Structure 1
Amino acid sequence: MYQFMSSALAAIAFFVASTSPQMAKAQTPPIRSYQPKATETARNAQIQDQQQKAHPSRFDLKKYPIIDSNSEHWQDSLWAIGVLAPEETYALQALANVLQMTTAPNLTDPQKGIIDTAMQVGMQLYTLKPAVYGKLKPYFVRTVNESSDSQWIALSLSALAKSTDPAQSLSKAQLDKLILKIQQRFPNWQQDLHLRATIQTARNDNSNQGSTMPNLADLLKWQIAPQQSHMYVLCRPNREVLCLAIVKDSNGKFLKRGKQLWSVPLLLQSLRNLDWYFTNGRTPQGIYRMEGVSLQPDDELFHAYGQFSLVNLFMPFEDGVQAFLPNQKGKFTGNLQSYQALLPPTWRNYQPILQSYWAGNVGRSLFRIHGSGAAIDFFRNKDKVVKAKYFDWNATLGCLSALELYDQRGSLIKADMPKILDALNTVGKGKVEGFLIVVDVPSTSNEPITVDEVAKYLN
């Protein structure tokens, strides 16, 4: 989920990575009906902290040169720009000062980490606030033409291709010229996931996407492995709308509440407006191992995850899983054909469902289902990546986001994580264990998939 990040995010990632999966019943600490960090005063203090970290004085290159010893300073400050999305020249210049380094020789790892953050924040603001950040275009073009880092090149091309601002958008001929330059500079570009996927997306090339989505009924009836619980998270290709999670037990029976199919809404959108193959991009489609929980009783991490336990998800090739496949200890290490064999025959050549395989292969990791203790308007550019009617859910850096709401007094209004943990324990007979499958279900309505729509595939 996270790679290069600010010190605050690094602490969050360390918490998730270092917390041993709890395989017993996923008990959470008692629900706190009052949370002091959710009060209006605490919310304002959190924003003030970000405003201080994004203050123009913190981007003074003479006082804070972009060197290893200032890595934490720059990471925190760039993160704050991404949070606040200020429509200010100084923020634009701060990003430009870092982005011009993408072609510099002999960069250190801490410097590369600073550039990674600037690339992602720059891409986010370039595509979502072009009136101010459209002026970053020359830095993206220069990166495509001259940088030796394929991920920075892919991010730059993605930003340029996604721009909808008439003043900054590239013509098809201009975009094709940049793509040709990449292919000439990287003869093996098809073996690089970031370049290959970005070029396909930029060209709107669906030739490798399979013809149409196979019958969803085949996927919902399939057992990846015997006697395993399954959670299905059904989304729309437009991740600005909510997804729908449903679960079935080890015997293949879907959980119901009364006569109604049990379900809960989740948001699987990227705060950065990044595609699935980028670190911090939206949640990839495909298979994940669901194994235990990470307890979350710590107020220091409340803003990131809320007050409830997180469900641990593991991608293919990811370390830390006890057994990706039952009766086979350790992580998934098979080839593509081994992964495809986990799918029903009608789905094995459908390229989107292979995303988690490819994303895991390039190192994406640390996915979780979690709530959020952050205010719903904490990320000031959120209205550009989440539709207004679903604004109560917070987008993430790749994780699956559950509803968790507090009022101005810090009182809990509503939270879906307890429902999710209870449902998974029910179908898992006291354990959170099994498989999670994410799949986008196309629709002309651009509305979330409904329980009634899913029910048609279960008859």
Structure 2
Amino acid sequence: MKSLLFAALCCCCAVSSFAQFARESIHTDVVLYNKRQSFDKYLRDKTIRDAFASPLDSNTEDKYESACWAICQFMIRNDEVKQGFDKLFAAYPTLAYSTRRAFLEAVYTVYPDSYTTAVEQLLQKETIPKLFAMQALYLFRNDASMDKLIQLQTLLQQKFPRNDTLPLLQELKKYLTLHNTYAEQPTPPVGDLFAHQQVLGQKIIYSFQRWNRDYPGLAIVQYADGSFAKDSTGKLLVFQQLARAGSNLPYFITNGNTPQGIYSVQGTAIAHNNFIGPTPNLQMIMPCESTDSAYWHTPYDSTQTPLSNYLQLLPASWQQYQPLTEAFYAGKTGRSEIIAHGTTIDPAYFKGMPFYPLTPTLGCLCAKEIWNEFNGGFQESDQFSLVNTFIATPGDTGYLMVINIDNQQAPVTLADIRQFMK
């Protein structure tokens, strides 16, 4: 079972709010220098080192699981982690499902190419669809050849002959077959999305990302009247967001990267979560995550399927573009609680990564936040600015679209977005 410390990463107990927020009201002791130092010591010494130093048995397995969750979120890799992984590989058949899932996620996160032989051996014996998918994805990331693709597809069919009834395995098949192709193809015209907003008549946040989620994206806000949020000089307002999970797993795996597609913004909230922090967040749901009535801000045609209604939120030029259905199918696979929030996690854990100083999550959209380690206030918060910009006009609901614009190996820039507005 996850420790309470890391279970907090997965939940968001929130209180709704409908007015604009004051900067001076946002404060947290979690980011103070001494608190961060104390947390880091506990994380490394107790949660990971001491757990992996103990024998692995039924009395200590929950500590191993907690260590794996910590490794995923903070991307810790060292010899102690490797030694713990060796024990977990050896004991894999006897582990509880939750421990195996946390372990596979940790391996995928911090040692993406070190355990192909061991994972291949697990795959041959795996009987649980989600664990099979995680193992197959690990191997495919290291070898995307046609031979490997055929091997994985054949094994999937042999082990799960009724895979067409399992949404997760259907998404795995699509990912193995199409992901690398879509990553190199252009999107339909982004300008068509801006024009179609007037048909919907809703506020929309567009979060433009790269296919390689190591690189941060940018969000912009289009108001219900069709205008874009700008500053006092007329410059387009942009907000840095990271759509990368700590694990970097694909969109259809729990705790994977933020799925592309259309989210329904349900309002704003304050999270009681030490890792998300006190900055207001945007509460969102996917179409298959909740009831239809909760998701839709536009008329719902009950004579059509949910997917058909979802596609009507897009202009005709985008309705056949499969990547924008990721959020729809991610909800079917069981993903939930994907919101747009800030972060109090110390960015020092990720120094040297392309997304630094932003911090990865369990699959949410996470905006850039830099905190003052001596007074607990924020120095810079794109999350605060995004939320206040979104609610600067009446209403706190609408839609948010996550769109991978291309596969450049660089952060999304204002220049990238300006080309869509010509």
- Aligned equivalent of 1:292: 267
Pair 1:366 & 2:366 matched: no
Gaps of 5+ in 2: none
**CA distance 1:12–1:58, shift in 2 (3 Å):** closer
Between 189-198 and 286-295, the greater mean CA deviation after superposition:
189-198
| TM-score (normalizing by structure 2) | 0.87
Paired AA for residue 8 in structure 2: A
Give the deviation of 1:402 after TM superposition.
Answer: 1.1
Q: Could you say what secondary structure the match of 2:246 adopts?
A: coil
Give the deviation of 1:276 after TM superposition.
Answer: 1.2
Work out whether residues 99 and 119 of structure 1, in 8 Å CA contact, stay in contact via their aligned partners in 2. no
**CA distance 1:198–1:324, shift in 2 (3 Å):** closer
- Coordinate RMSD, CA, aligned: 3.1
Work out whether residues 255 and 261 of structure 1, in 8 Å CA contact, stay in contact via their aligned partners in 2. yes
Pair 1:281 & 2:219 matched: no
Structural mapping, 1:34-45, within 5 Å: 35-45=28-38
How many Å separate the matches in 1 of 2:48 and 2:204? 47
How many Å separate the matches in 2 of 1:311 and 1:273? 22
- Aligned equivalent of 1:435: 399
How many Å separate the matches in 2 of 1:337 and 1:322? 15
Number of matched pairs: 416
- Aligned equivalent of 1:166: none
| TM-score (normalizing by structure 1) | 0.80
Among residues 68, 73, 79, which one is paired with 1:78 in the alignment?
68
**CA distance 1:221–1:6, shift in 2 (3 Å):** farther
How many Å separate the matches in 1 of 2:58 and 2:228? 54
Pair 1:312 & 2:276 matched: no
Paired AA for residue 414 in structure 1: E
Paired AA for residue 366 in structure 1: E
Paired AA for residue 19 in structure 2: K
Q: Could you say what secondary structure the match of 1:409 adopts?
A: coil
Pair 1:219 & 2:193 matched: yes
- Cα shift readout 1:297-332 (whole Å, capped 9, x = no counterpart): x5xx33x11331111111112238973113779xxx
- Cα shift readout 1:305-362 (whole Å, capped 9, x = no counterpart): 1331111111112238973113779xxx953222112211111110000100000111
Give the deviation of 1:200 after TM superposition.
Answer: 4.6
Paired AA for residue 25 in structure 1: A
- Aligned equivalent of 1:409: 374
Work out whether residues 26 and 292 of structure 1, in 8 Å CA contact, stay in contact via their aligned partners in 2. no
Work out whether residues 358 and 368 of structure 2, in 8 Å CA contact, stay in contact via their aligned partners in 1. yes
How many Å separate the matches in 2 of 1:98 and 1:409? 40
Q: Could you say what secondary structure the match of 1:245 adopts?
A: strand
How many Å separate the matches in 2 of 1:238 and 1:207? 13
Q: Could you say what secondary structure the match of 2:290 adopts?
A: coil
Work out whether residues 357 and 368 of structure 2, in 8 Å CA contact, stay in contact via their aligned partners in 1. yes
Give the deviation of 1:93 after TM superposition.
Answer: 4.0
Identity of aligned residues (%): 21
Work out whether residues 145 and 178 of structure 1, in 8 Å CA contact, stay in contact via their aligned partners in 2. no
How many Å separate the matches in 1 of 2:289 and 2:237? 30
- Aligned equivalent of 2:101: 116
Work out whether residues 167 and 332 of structure 2, in 8 Å CA contact, stay in contact via their aligned partners in 1. no
Pair 1:448 & 2:414 matched: no
**CA distance 1:98–1:377, shift in 2 (3 Å):** same
Gaps of 5+ in 1: 164-168
Give the deviation of 1:201 after TM superposition.
Answer: 4.1
